[in-house]
Amino acid sequence: MNAVRRAPASADEHLPLPARQMQLYLTFWHFVYLGLLTLLLWETWAEFGRGDVWRASLLTGLALAQTGLYVWSFVLNHLWPLPGWRIGLYFGVSVGLWLLEWRLAPDWQWFGMTYFGQMLGILPPLAAVPGSLLIFALVFIASPDLNLAALRADRVMGPLIGWAASMVLYFFIHYITRTSAARGRLVAELRAAQAKLEAARARDAELAALRERERLARDLHDSLGHALVAISVQLEAIQRLYRVDAERAAAQVDTLKAATRAATDELRRSLAGLRASGLGDRPLDEALRSLAVDTGRQHDLDVTCRVEPGSARLTPAAAEALWRVAQEALTNVARHAQARRVEVTLTFTPEAARLSVRDDGRGLPEDAATLAAAGHYGLSGLRERLAAVGGALTLANDGGVTVAAQVPL
């Protein structure tokens, strides 16, 4: 038997069971409905098969029509819940056929109770209550031993109490199934949202890696590439100058040595940045504290770290950018600042995260702006990292150096 598929959720979805439970539920009613129908046909032929063949044949035709309508509506249909027009067609035609069968054979009276159960299981409350009450009333009023003229209250109260009890049970089951389905849908939505979030984080990290490669390639092209071109041009000039003025050529060689050393230092810096471990899966606050401890131990510095809670609100790219700022700033302090104390602070506002690294060293040189623009101190790369996530980098010379990075949340 093919599995039942869920139709798009709507306001009138009255039996929100998972597909497997719905399949079991419908299978149970298949056996009940078609089994009772088969049993009644067997009794009908046993009663009318010899003396009243036309009545047995007519009842058989009506039963086959009911079977076909039932199979078309529930067995061959794989979409749940059924459209309203299809449910209305099924119950309208099926109940009409049952009334004709009941007219031909009184024993078919109690077969109407199968529609009572189907209505409670299939219809929404606004339709199930009056529909089931109608079936219940038809079976009760048309009972052959019922005398409406001498009807007593106790004869009516018993069936009414039975119907009311079935309604209480129906609404209880209806509430349980709807609550369970609502929770199931919520869990599914949360899992889908979590999967989307993880995919977005993965794409964000991949994009950050691509941007980092592009930045590194641009740095190597702008610094090392230009330096190698300049060295090549100077070598050709020195080669020609040796024939004319060997002393000036020797002086140019010394200048060339300095340019070569500068290019080598720039290459080492780029390679060191490439080899430096990234943030990875570590929380930013934990990584900053570990970095502060390691830097203080390696360079004999008093490094304090103060981190406010909230780093989980950062995207992976933004957290990586702040982490690189802290790495580069502490490296510059250790190499150039001649400082004794360093303060690393990460604070949060509703709109942004701010990282500052402040030292008590000798401060920036007078040409710091020019050096930073030329790529020294690694500041140009940091500015590019932060700009990629909508952030900015600032420097302050205030009895030391304060490197501050800010990224939006």
User: Which residue range(s) make up the domain with 90?
Assistant: 5-151
User: What residue type is assigned to position 134 of the chain?
Assistant: L
What are the pLDDT digits (tens) for 100-118?
888 888 888 888 888 887 8
Residue 334, classified by CB atoms within 10 Å of its CB into exposed (0-12), middle (13-18) or buried (19+), is buried
Q: What is the pLDDT of residue 378?
A: 61
Q: Can you tell me the mean pLDDT for 267-279?
A: 59
pLDDT at 357 over 80: yes
What are the pLDDT digits (tens) for 297-327?
888 889 899 988 888 888 888 888 888 888 8
Query: Residues 51, 53, 55, CA angle at the centre, nearest 5°?
Result: 105
What are the pLDDT digits (tens) for 177-196?
778 778 878 888 898 888 88
What one-character-per-residue DSSP string does 159-201 give?
Answer: HHHHHHHHHHHHHHHHHHHHHHHHHHHHHHHHHHHHHHHHHHH
Residue 252 lies in a domain: no
Residue 366 lies in a domain: yes
pLDDT at 8 over 60: no
Lowest-pLDDT range, 93-102, 142-151, 261-270, 354-363? 142-151
Please, which residues have CB within 8 angstroms of residue 106's CB and are 6 or more apart in sequence? Answer: 144
Given pLDDT bands bounded at 50, 70 and 90, which one contains residue 99? confident
Given pLDDT bands bounded at 50, 70 and 90, which one contains residue 1? very low
Q: Can you tell me the mean pLDDT for 372-401?
A: 74
What are the pLDDT digits (tens) for 18-46?
456 667 767 887 888 888 888 888 988 88
What are the pLDDT digits (tens) for 62-81?
999 999 998 888 878 766 66
Q: Can you tell me the mean pLDDT for 352-372?
A: 74
Q: Can you tell me the mean pLDDT for 212-220?
A: 68
Which of residues 106, 123, 151 is at a domain's end?
151
Residue 408, beta-bridge partner list: 352
Residue of 318, 291, 323 lying closest to 304 (CA atoms): 291
Q: What is the pLDDT of residue 155?
A: 61
Residue 156 lies in a domain: no
Residue 174 lies in a domain: no
Residue 229 lies in a domain: no
Residue 141 lies in a domain: yes
What's the number of domains the chain is made of? 2
Residue 368 lies in a domain: yes
Q: Report d(CA 388, CA 385) in Å as an integer.
A: 5
Residue of 141, 116, 142, 140 lying closest to 129 (CA atoms): 116
Which of residues 104, 135, 151 is at a domain's end?
151
Which of residues 151, 178, 209 is at a domain's end?
151
Query: What is the domain-level CATH number for residue 285?
Result: 3.30.565.10
Residue 193 lies in a domain: no
pTM of the model: 0.42
